[in-house]
A = this chain, B = another copy of it.
Amino acid sequence: MVKVRMATPVLQQNDEVARENRKLFRKKGLFVLNLMSSPGSGKTSILERTIEKLSSRLKLGVIEGDIYTTKDAERIEKFGIAVVQINTAGACHLDARMVQPALDDLDLNDLDLLIVENVGNLVCPAEFDLGEDARAAVLSVAEGNDKPAKYPLVFRESQVVLINKIDLLPHTDCDIDQLEKDLKLINHQLKLFRVSARLDQGFEPWVQWLEEQVNLKKKLSASQ
C-alpha cells in the first residue's frame, strides 16, 4: 500500500502560482487570454485567424497546451510569432505551475498579448486559474444546443464565448439564438461572437475587443 501525502491541496497550490503569474503579467503590462473548449471546436483555427488579423497591430505570443503532440504549436509557428509548447503528459488541463516555467521561454517585454491555448476539454481547464486576464470559450454549432446547461462552469468563468462553425448552421439542428440566450442565462456578462474560422467570417468584432483589452491593460499597468 503506497501512501501519498499532499501538503497543500492542488487547487490552493495552483492559486498561489497563478497569483505570481498574474503579478508578472501586470508588471509587464501584458494581456493574457486563456482559450478553452472541447476537442474539435476550433480553438487552433480561431487562433490562426486571430493571429492573421492582429499580428500587424500587436506583438503576439502563444503558449500551446497539448497532452502529447506539438501539432498545434507547429501550426502557430508558421506565422512567425513566439510560441511555446507545454505537453501535459496525460493531464487533461493546463495549470499555473505548468505555465510559469514556459514564461521563461518568452520575451515578455516584447509582447502585448499572450494567448494560452488550453487542452481540449470542456470540464477541467475551467477549474485552474493560470493568472490570465480573461478566458474565452469556444463552442461549435455542431456540438448541439445543450452544452451550456451541461457544462456551465467554463461559461460561467469566461468573459467571452466564440460560437464557431456558423457556416454549418443550415446543416445542423442548432438554434443559435436560443444557444446565446442559454449562455446569457448562465453568465449575463458574456461577450458573444459568431464566427466561422473555416470561412473567415465574423472575426473583426472579436479582434477589436481583444485589441481594446490589450490597450486597457497597458494603461492600467502604467498607472500602477
Contacts and interface: CB of A to CB of B under 8 A. Distances in A.
Interface of A: 1-9, 12, 38-42, 66-69, 71, 90, 92, 119-124, 140, 142-144, 146-147, 149-153, 165, 167-168, 171-173, 198
A5 B5 contact: yes
29 contacts: A1-B8, A2-B8, A3-B5, A3-B6, A4-B5, A38-B39, A38-B120, A39-B122, A39-B143, A39-B147, A39-B150, A39-B151, A40-B142, A40-B143, A40-B144, A40-B147, A71-B146, A71-B149, A71-B150, A92-B121, A119-B123, A120-B122, A120-B151, A121-B123, A121-B124, A124-B124, A142-B168, A168-B172, A172-B198
Given A68-B150, A90-B153, A120-B123, 10 more contacts: A38-B39, A39-B147, A39-B151, A40-B143, A40-B147, A42-B144, A121-B121, A142-B168, A168-B168, A173-B198
Nearest to A2: B9
A47 B120 CA distance: 24
Nearest to A42: B144
Which of A40, A147, A149, A150 has the largest number of chain B CB atoms within 10 A? A40
Contacts of A90: 153
Nearest to A141: B142
Nearest to A139: B40
B6 A6 contact: yes
Contacts of A5: 3-5
Nearest to A198: B173
A4 B2 CA distance: 14
A2 B66 CA distance: 31
Given A92-B121, A142-B40, A69 B149 contact: yes
Contact of A151 (B8, B67, B146, B167): B67
A41 B140 CA distance: 11
Contacts of A39: 38, 122, 143, 147, 150-151
A157 to B, nearest CB: 13
A66 B121 contact: no
Contacts of A143: 39-41, 142
